[in-house]
Chains A and B, each alone.
Chain A
């Protein structure tokens, strides 16, 4: 199993409960907005602590309430591409890309800097600040930053939502190449049926009763 996940999360008034186990490739997490998809990703990344349950990725236990195991986010080797991207505004694009790369042990690195930049087509952006990037450019930089951090798995939160037409197609192609070249398990949050149909190897549906 790539992802073996059982979560019971409390977010304010709401309670999110979700259990799934999926194999290699891309797992699409679908459901109406506000159902808690981003919270699930945050819990898998370790930024939220579930009340109970477990998070096991590729056989490694990252969280287990029963055994009181909780690997801190900085040690989970999870490439999380946030829906709001969260590029560091005080750093150049190059420094944003290097941020995770410099902190990842060599053995975990799956792709070099030059190759990542080429793959994402961001060669010309390296000296710029995030505030000067377009939505599509920033999206690609955020994916590059996650990819360079030596991730054991990727969590992509609506990576296509802000994009249209050719840009959307470009990012989808990138995601497919990441799957093909690096064999990284991924969770993709999306609520577009066409994207899910094209990219997903597994689909997990969330609704308000889940």
Chain B
């Protein structure tokens, strides 16, 4: 059905999306936890900042990433000098762009499931001898699992569609940063590439549809009455 280079594009997109998700997950969880449980003055501001990638033009995010993470940027210089990591023109940079763009959706999904957890269960764990980390690992985390899974799937779907930030930040390098949307855009620039466009577009639709259905199913399980409460 797909040609070898097209499979390579699909494979690269999946790799970038998967790595982006697992890199973003701890950050998303920490932010969701703070937003779900925290009570401090800067909450609204933090919430707004977390949601910025959802509303800012992706090209702005890409440009900000370029300024910060390119080898001449403050963070990029440190990464390159001390860790030997280069992000520009590399798939790792595409994964970073995808992770940043997916972060708001991930935080939302995890936050919803954290807010659905009955804090009385954590109090019960306390009386049974569980300290803070113990309670978090044995009660909070497992009960938040549907939201975490939904966040992974939803973020993955979002990262498959990432275009503007990626091309602005890490260019359109085949085999490194030319993920599905970039490859489709490039094919659209060439008359006569319609069959490639069709096939890659179909793959995009199927992957995104699958991810959205799975995440919706997971989120419904989270909000189902009784699933997160005692008897």
Contact = CB atoms under 8 A, between A and B. Distances in A.
Nearest to A77: B129
Contact of B120 (A45, A73, A82): A82
Nearest to B121: A86
Given A74-B131, A103-B134, A89 B126 contact: no
B107 to A, nearest CB: 22
By CB atoms of chain B within 10 A, which of A72, A79, A100, A138 has the most?
A: A100
A99 B69 CA distance: 46
Contact of B123 (A47, A90, A133): A47
B125 A99 contact: yes
Q: How large is the interface on B (under 10, 10 to 19, 20 to 34, 35 or more residues)?
A: 20 to 34
A197 B118 CA distance: 35
A103 B123 contact: no
Interface string A9-31: 00000000000000000000000
Which applies to chain B's interface (DSSP): helix, strand, loop or mixed? Answer: helix
B130 interface: yes
By CB atoms of chain A within 10 A, which of B131, B138, B139, B228 has the most?
A: B138
Interface string B118-147: 101101111111110010001100110100
Interface in A78-115: 78-80, 82, 84-90, 99-100, 103-104
Contact of A76 (B127, B139, B142): B127
Given A47-B123, A82-B124, A84-B120, A89 B227 contact: yes
Contacts, number: 77
Interface of A: 45-47, 72-80, 82, 84-90, 99-100, 103-104, 130-131, 133, 135, 138, 145-146, 149-150
B231 interface: yes
A90 B230 contact: no
Given A74-B129, A80-B127, A103-B130, A131 B231 contact: yes
Interface of B: 118, 120-121, 123-131, 134, 138-139, 142-143, 145, 226-231
B230 A74 contact: no
Nearest to B129: A103
Nearest to A155: B127
8 contacts: A46-B126, A47-B126, A86-B118, A88-B139, A90-B142, A103-B129, A103-B130, A130-B230
